[in-house]
Structure 1
Amino acid sequence: MTRGSTLPAHRLPHLSGRLAIPAQTRTSPVPVLHGFNTASADEARRVLLTCLHSPRWARRLADHRPYPTMDSLLAASDEAAYDLTPDDLAEALAAETLPTLPDDAYEAAHMALSAAHSAYEARFGHVFVICLDGLPPPEALDHVLEGIRSRLANDPEDERVVAAEELRRLARGRLVGAVRGAGL
């Protein structure tokens, strides 16, 4: 086979029977999950309960350690959250608090949020939960108020499904923070 005029012929120099292959150094990062995977079951459950106040969810995640990756932990978290019974969900919702407003929010915003939340709680019997992960702080108030107002139109069963999904999303974000942060 001949090469075109634009591609020069490359010839390998004569090589002896031995080749020096540089050693490949692999640096293993400190596993993010090491602390979580090696913590005592009680400590893991304690930290998990700060992410989602469901003893069943926390026990399930703690009992299935070790997790090889953060993605596998988050997948297990999602699966356990999807499996919450109505009683588990009620218990988790009872421990939630209303999203906090930015410090510079007007007094009228606090009153509007308080009134909307009171209407929500009267209708559904639990605190309003919404995940604000990834939302710019200046947009949080409008997002919370819009969420409460739109979800007030839900029937109780539909709202239970929405609240469970919001709890699952909250648990994911909190879990990432707890595992990567000081929690474990």
Structure 2
Amino acid sequence: MTSTSTPQGLARFNALEESAALAALHEVCASTAWARRLLADRPYTTVDDLYAAADAAMSGLTAADLDEAMAGHPPIGRPRPGDPDSTREQSGMACAPDRLKAEMLELNLAHQEKFGHVFLICATGRTGEQMRDEARERLGNTPERERETVRTELGKINRIRLARLVEADRQPRRP
């Protein structure tokens, strides 16, 4: 493979039928507008091109689009049953002591009450304590600031998930 050729995993994503590509993108982000924007920009030559398109699509999401994207994420400390991505991403809470899990549940509820959506954070690589501390701090945000923080966190999550999607040996799930 030369440096100008498209990486194997990205080439596979580019070649997917529209419905399969859309389903794969929905595994990355639950926003239909975000997924459709990435789908419309195919084919991608480099992974960096895909990331740039993802970032541009994220910055253009409306409040309703962000709500749709957030609805695809379970609360921290309660990964979606049977979802290996959710479990892996939230692994920092898996071995947390019960008191920390209970505190995180309280913070999730306070966040939901104040902002009307789940506390969303790019949990990959973070400990339970780090997530708890961030949840505490973000309760002090204004709704506008929290929405922009969520946009940033979603962008981080999407990049991690896109990287897994275009790995050379990973096959997207079929619709």
- Residue 30 of structure 1 and its aligned partner are, at CA, apart by 5.4
| Structure 1 residue matching 2:104: 3-state secondary structure | helix
Identity fraction in percent: 33
Superimposed CA distance per residue, residues 115-157 of structure 1 (whole angstroms, 9 cap, x where no aligned partner): 1111111100000111134x3xxx5211110111000000101
Q: Distance in 2 between matches of 1:77 and 1:182?
A: 20
Q: How does 1:91-170 map to 2 (within 5 A)?
A: 91-99=68-76, 100=90, 101-133=92-124, 135=125, 139-170=126-157
Contact 1:89 1:164 in 2 (8 A): yes
| Structure 2 residue matching 1:148: 3-state secondary structure | helix
Q: Distance in 1 between matches of 2:117 and 2:133?
A: 18
- Residue 26 of structure 1 and its aligned partner are, at CA, apart by 6.1
Q: What TM-score, normalized by structure 1, do the two folds share?
A: 0.78
Q: How does 1:1-184 map to 2 (within 5 A)?
A: 31-99=8-76, 100=90, 101-133=92-124, 135=125, 139-180=126-167, 181-183=170-172
Q: Which has the higher contact order (CA 8 A, sep 6+)?
A: 2
Gaps of at least 5 residues in structure 2 are 77-89
- With over 3 angstroms needed to count, the CA separation of the structure-2 counterparts of 1:29 and 1:78, relative to structure 1, is closer
Amino acid in structure 2 at the alignment position of 1:113: M
Q: Distance in 1 between matches of 2:44 and 2:15?
A: 10
- With over 3 angstroms needed to count, the CA separation of the structure-2 counterparts of 1:70 and 1:117, relative to structure 1, is same
Q: Distance in 2 between matches of 1:29 and 1:50?
A: 22
- With over 3 angstroms needed to count, the CA separation of the structure-2 counterparts of 1:67 and 1:90, relative to structure 1, is same
Whichever of the two has the greater Rg, that structure is 1
Q: Relative to total residues, which structure has the larger helix share, 1 or 2?
A: 2
Superimposed CA distance per residue, residues 73-102 of structure 1 (whole angstroms, 9 cap, x where no aligned partner): 000000000100111011111221123354
- What CA RMSD, in Å, does the superposition of the two structures yield over aligned residues? 2.0
Q: What TM-score, normalized by structure 2, do the two folds share?
A: 0.82
